[in-house]
Amino acid sequence: MTYRRTRDRSPQTSALGRASLALLLALAIVVAATLVAPAVAAASEEGPAGLTAAVTPAAITYPGSAVISGEGAPPGATLLLFARPAGQPDWPTGPVSSATVTTAGAYRFSKVKPSVTTEYRVEVRDGDPPAQAEVRLRVRPRVTASFPAGLWLGGSVRLSGRVEPAHPGGSVTIERRVAGVWEPLVTGVTLDGASRFAHPWKPEEFGFYRLRARMEADDDHDAGASASRQVVVNRPNAHRVPMRFAHYIVIVRHEYRLYYYERGVMVRRFEVALGRPGYATPLGRYRIYGKRKPGGGALGACVMFYRRRGGIAIHGTNEPWLIRRPAPRRYSHGCARMLNSQALWLYARVPVGTRVHNLR
Q: DSSP for 302-336, please give it.
A: -EEEEETTTTEEEE--S-HHHHHSPSP-EEESS-E
Q: What is the mean predicted confidence (pLDDT) over 303-328?
A: 96
User: Can you tell me the distance from the alpha carbon of 74 to that of 175, in angstroms, rounded to the nearest whole number?
Assistant: 51
Instruction: For residue 1, name the pLDDT band (cuts at 50, 70, 90).
Output: very low
Residue spans of the domains in the chain: they are: 54-139, 142-234, 248-359
User: Can you tell me the distance from the alpha carbon of 205 to that of 46, in angstroms, rounded to the nearest whole number?
Assistant: 73
Q: What is the mean predicted confidence (pLDDT) over 322-344?
A: 96
Quick: pLDDT tens for 56-100: 999 999 999 999 999 988 888 889 999 999 999 999 999 999 998
Choice among 17-26, 67-76, 82-91, 154-163 with the minimum mean pLDDT: 17-26
Instruction: For residue 16, name the pLDDT band (cuts at 50, 70, 90).
Output: very low
Choice among 40-54, 104-118, 123-137, 221-235 with the minimum mean pLDDT: 40-54
User: Can you tell me the distance from the alpha carbon of 80 to that of 93, in angstroms, rounded to the nearest whole number?
Assistant: 11
User: Can you tell me the distance from the alpha carbon of 187 to that of 182, in angstroms, rounded to the nearest whole number?
Assistant: 13
Choice among 31-40, 102-111, 204-213, 253-262 with the minimum mean pLDDT: 31-40
- Better-scored residue on pLDDT, 20 or 64: 64
Q: Do domains 54-139 and 248-359 have the same CATH topology?
A: no
* pLDDT of the residue at 295: 94
Q: What is the mean predicted confidence (pLDDT) over 124-142?
A: 89
Kindly report the backbone phi and psi dihedral angles of residue 345, in degrees, each rounded to the nearest multiple of 5, phi listed first.
-60, -45
* Percent of the chain's residues with pLDDT above 90: 80
Is it the case that residue 11 has pLDDT exceeding 90? no
Homologous superfamily (CATH) of 142-234 is Immunoglobulins (2.60.40.10)
Q: What is the mean predicted confidence (pLDDT) over 214-224?
A: 97
Choice among 4-13, 194-203, 281-290, 299-308 with the minimum mean pLDDT: 4-13
Quick: pLDDT tens for 220-254: 999 999 999 999 999 999 999 999 999 999 999 99
User: Can you tell me the distance from the alpha carbon of 81 to that of 93, in angstroms, rounded to the nearest whole number?
Assistant: 11
Q: What is the mean predicted confidence (pLDDT) over 293-304?
A: 96
Q: What is the mean predicted confidence (pLDDT) over 334-354?
A: 98
* pLDDT of the residue at 126: 74
Nearest in space to 104 (alpha carbons), one of 78, 76, 79, 123:
76
CATH annotation of 54-139:
2.60.40.230
Per DSSP, the three-state class of 267 is: strand
Q: What is the pTM of this model?
A: 0.72
Total Cβ atoms within 10 A of residue 93: 6
Tell me: domain 248-359, CATH 2.60.410.10, correct? no
* pLDDT of the residue at 103: 83
Q: What is the mean pLDDT of the chain?
A: 88
